[in-house]
Chain A
């Protein structure tokens, strides 16, 4: 078990592509940490640099207090699961799991015993003699996990651990992975481009763009209070409504209505300033009768999401998404009103959240995401 400390980490590929740009990051001991971002944001490079598969151009990586920046991957004491699992096709499941111990020159009986234990722990009993090609995707993933943990590494690295599974299996594997990490309490970093996966699994998330971390926080913080427009538009299965408006006295005129300036931003905006107003579709209350201070428009599309529906209102030609509960869905063509819940409107200026303090600490949250 060990913490990860990364300072000013820079990776420039030959050809001049700057994949990581003076990046600082701390991952606490035992934490389940997600690197989230669109493709090409540097998240996989960061993971591979921590593993030692890429050499850092500049900066320092410490694992458990020890500087490993220039160490080869085999001497960093990390276990890694690859996106395609990279199980050796010519070896049996047992030989695959035992491979790290074979490199460490353990006796055959010892390594096979420990590999069998690891396999049993991950529910692979009875499959020891099979080849990877004869396993299902979920089983292959568990073999890869068993192989990564058999040598008891200090750090666990997972590259897109769920992306190769089909949708149903993915949910199952997600729960399995979270329970496994809780039980082992090994510092785990995983890479994903799927924001729902990051929100569901991680204790903390780093949202990355162009080799930099754009926001670092718990899933609740990142979901509720995106620190900038990039994170706001990236996080959430239904993207946040972002409407441009103008500050006037104590209100923001936006899309034909006036919203009160949020308390945290009140001291930091001036009259006449242009801002972007962000509110999640989940934080808008729909009504079919006029409401004071609400957005209003014609319903153009109703999409069923299962337990709720996503309604698109045409508000002054700009689409506004609202999540409407079961049984209350309007028909396309109806006129509707959508009122933001108090305290859920965010103001962005020049792409950054307008808030009381720079880098102010968020409300302390417990591990399961609720307020302390």
Chain B
């Protein structure tokens, strides 16, 4: 009897705890789902007074849609740079003999978090200033690429290391050139890795605030993450209607990208662990 009571209490306790944790994470998502359609959104999640008016207001904002386009440009540019350079570097590091290779990789990985972090804000700004890269999308793309590259190389090197060299040797015996080997054999074999790195890069750039905020002056070039920061009412209060609606639009592309890549490439989130 006593046992049963204890068991029931244990289950009730567990269910309460799980519900609390679930609620903690679910409420912001509920807010994101309801607030954009609410005529008077607050900071609490509540059933909306349904309206699409918030979307109309957002469309009329001169910067909102352009900023999403800017975000796409920055993310695509950075992803292109990161994936191409990381694939070549990871392949070379995996196959060639580079003295002190592992030490080099770990040091780069350590430093990379500083490059795009607040600690290097001033030097990065000065560097961009002296290179005439202030207010240039290329500048932002290059700085972000620099910050993301070490981790991308690290991830991809895991994939190239796991690929048996006999694939490449077979191609070599049949007379394939190094670039042919890369194109015909290595890239298709590590494609899940390339997809992982692409998605990861895009997600990183999409969410990055500091670098574009620092390096882009012209609001016409600012990405969504920066523009969101400007949505205030005349009274200096956050414009919750605009912010919630924009947040929804801002979140959707990344979610869609995950779904698309997952469908197209059989992409699983590999992290750094070999299959």
> Could you tell me the distance between the alpha carbons of A151 and B173 in the complex, rounded to whole angstroms?
11
Of residues 123 through 182 on chain A, the ones whose CB sits less than 8 Å from some CB of chain B are 147, 151
Contact string against A for B residues 166-198, beta-carbon threshold 8 Å, 1 for contact and 0 otherwise: 110111111110001000110011010000000
Q: Are A86 and B169 in contact (CB under 8 A)?
A: yes
**Cβ of A72: which chain B residues have Cβ within 8 Å of it?**
172
Q: Are B173 and A84 in contact (CB under 8 A)?
A: no
Of residues 1 through 39 on chain A, the ones whose CB sits less than 8 Å from some CB of chain B are 14
> Could you tell me the distance between the alpha carbons of A90 and B265 in the complex, rounded to whole angstroms?
12
> Could you tell me the distance between the alpha carbons of A88 and B170 in the complex, rounded to whole angstroms?
9
Q: Which of A14, A74, A102 interacts with B173 by CB under 8 Å?
A: A74
Residue of A nearest to B187 (CB): A90
> Could you tell me the distance between the alpha carbons of A89 and B191 in the complex, rounded to whole angstroms?
12
Q: Are B175 and A82 in contact (CB under 8 A)?
A: no
A118 within 8 A of B: no
Q: Are B164 and A73 in contact (CB under 8 A)?
A: no
Q: Are B174 and A100 in contact (CB under 8 A)?
A: yes
Q: Are B173 and A52 in contact (CB under 8 A)?
A: yes
**Cβ of B184: which chain A residues have Cβ within 8 Å of it?**
88, 99, 102
A86-B164, A103-B180 as given contacts; A80 in contact with B171, CB under 8 Å: no
A104 within 8 A of B: yes
Q: Are B175 and A78 in contact (CB under 8 A)?
A: no
Q: Which of A83, A100, A102 interacts with B166 by CB under 8 Å?
A: A83
> Could you tell me the distance between the alpha carbons of A270 and B169 in the complex, rounded to whole angstroms?
55
**Cβ of A73: which chain B residues have Cβ within 8 Å of it?**
169, 172-173, 175
Q: Are A151 and B174 in contact (CB under 8 A)?
A: yes
Q: Which of A14, A53, A88, A104 interacts with B185 by CB under 8 Å?
A: A88
**Cβ of B167: which chain A residues have Cβ within 8 Å of it?**
86, 88
Residue of A nearest to B180 (CB): A103
Q: Are A82 and B174 in contact (CB under 8 A)?
A: no
A79 within 8 A of B: yes
> Could you tell me the distance between the alpha carbons of A14 and B97 in the complex, rounded to whole angstroms?
11
**Cβ of A88: which chain B residues have Cβ within 8 Å of it?**
167, 170, 184-185, 188-189
A88-B185, A90-B188 as given contacts; A99 in contact with B171, CB under 8 Å: yes
> Could you tell me the distance between the alpha carbons of A148 and B107 in the complex, rounded to whole angstroms?
44
**Cβ of A74: which chain B residues have Cβ within 8 Å of it?**
172-176
**Cβ of B191: which chain A residues have Cβ within 8 Å of it?**
90
Nearest CB of chain B from residue A314's CB, rounded to whole Å: 48
> Could you tell me the distance between the alpha carbons of A353 and B170 in the complex, rounded to whole angstroms?
41
Residue of A nearest to B175 (CB): A74
Q: Are A100 and B175 in contact (CB under 8 A)?
A: yes
Nearest CB of chain A from residue B99's CB, rounded to whole Å: 11
Nearest CB of chain B from residue A157's CB, rounded to whole Å: 8
> Could you tell me the distance between the alpha carbons of A139 and B169 in the complex, rounded to whole angstroms?
21
Residue of B nearest to A83 (CB): B166
> Could you tell me the distance between the alpha carbons of A53 and B175 in the complex, rounded to whole angstroms?
11
Of residues 9 through 26 on chain B, the ones whose CB sits less than 8 Å from some CB of chain A are none
A268 within 8 A of B: no
Residue of B nearest to A144 (CB): B170
A115 within 8 A of B: no
Nearest CB of chain B from residue A130's CB, rounded to whole Å: 17
**Cβ of A360: which chain B residues have Cβ within 8 Å of it?**
none
**Cβ of A231: which chain B residues have Cβ within 8 Å of it?**
none
A84-B164, A90-B188, A103-B180 as given contacts; A53 in contact with B174, CB under 8 Å: no
**Cβ of B172: which chain A residues have Cβ within 8 Å of it?**
52-53, 72-74
> Could you tell me the distance between the alpha carbons of A51 and B172 in the complex, rounded to whole angstroms?
10
**Cβ of A147: which chain B residues have Cβ within 8 Å of it?**
170, 174
> Could you tell me the distance between the alpha carbons of A99 and B170 in the complex, rounded to whole angstroms?
10
Nearest CB of chain A from residue B137's CB, rounded to whole Å: 35
**Cβ of B174: which chain A residues have Cβ within 8 Å of it?**
74, 99-100, 103, 147, 151
**Cβ of A104: which chain B residues have Cβ within 8 Å of it?**
175
> Could you tell me the distance between the alpha carbons of A82 and B173 in the complex, rounded to whole angstroms?
11
Of residues 94 through 108 on chain A, the ones whose CB sits less than 8 Å from some CB of chain B are 99-100, 102-104
Q: Are A103 and B166 in contact (CB under 8 A)?
A: no
Q: Are B164 and A89 in contact (CB under 8 A)?
A: no
> Could you tell me the distance between the alpha carbons of A75 and B191 in the complex, rounded to whole angstroms?
30
Nearest CB of chain B from residue A217's CB, rounded to whole Å: 29
**Cβ of B188: which chain A residues have Cβ within 8 Å of it?**
88, 90
> Could you tell me the distance between the alpha carbons of A51 and B170 in the complex, rounded to whole angstroms?
10
Q: Which of B97, B164, B169 interacts with A53 by CB under 8 Å?
A: B169
Residue of B nearest to A150 (CB): B174
> Could you tell me the distance between the alpha carbons of A52 and B189 in the complex, rounded to whole angstroms?
24
> Could you tell me the distance between the alpha carbons of A210 and B171 in the complex, rounded to whole angstroms?
30
**Cβ of A151: which chain B residues have Cβ within 8 Å of it?**
174
Q: Are B175 and A51 in contact (CB under 8 A)?
A: no
> Could you tell me the distance between the alpha carbons of A103 and B173 in the complex, rounded to whole angstroms?
11
Nearest CB of chain B from residue A98's CB, rounded to whole Å: 11
> Could you tell me the distance between the alpha carbons of A53 and B171 in the complex, rounded to whole angstroms?
11
> Could you tell me the distance between the alpha carbons of A151 and B171 in the complex, rounded to whole angstroms?
13
Residue of B nearest to A77 (CB): B175
The residues of A with any CB-CB pair to B shorter than 8 Å are 14, 51-53, 72-75, 78-80, 82-84, 86, 88-90, 99-100, 102-104, 147, 151
Q: What are 15 sample pairs from A and B whose C-beta atoms fall under 8 A apart?
A: A51-B173, A74-B175, A74-B176, A78-B173, A79-B173, A80-B173, A82-B170, A86-B166, A88-B185, A88-B188, A90-B191, A99-B174, A99-B184, A147-B174, A151-B174
Can you list the 9 inter-chain pairs with the closest CB atoms, starting with the nearest? Answer: A74-B175, A86-B166, A100-B174, A86-B170, A90-B188, A82-B166, A80-B173, A73-B173, A103-B175
18 extra A-B contacts, CB within 8 A, seeds A103-B175, A147-B174: A51-B173, A72-B172, A73-B169, A73-B172, A74-B172, A74-B173, A75-B175, A78-B173, A80-B170, A83-B166, A84-B164, A86-B167, A88-B170, A88-B184, A99-B174, A100-B175, A104-B175, A151-B174
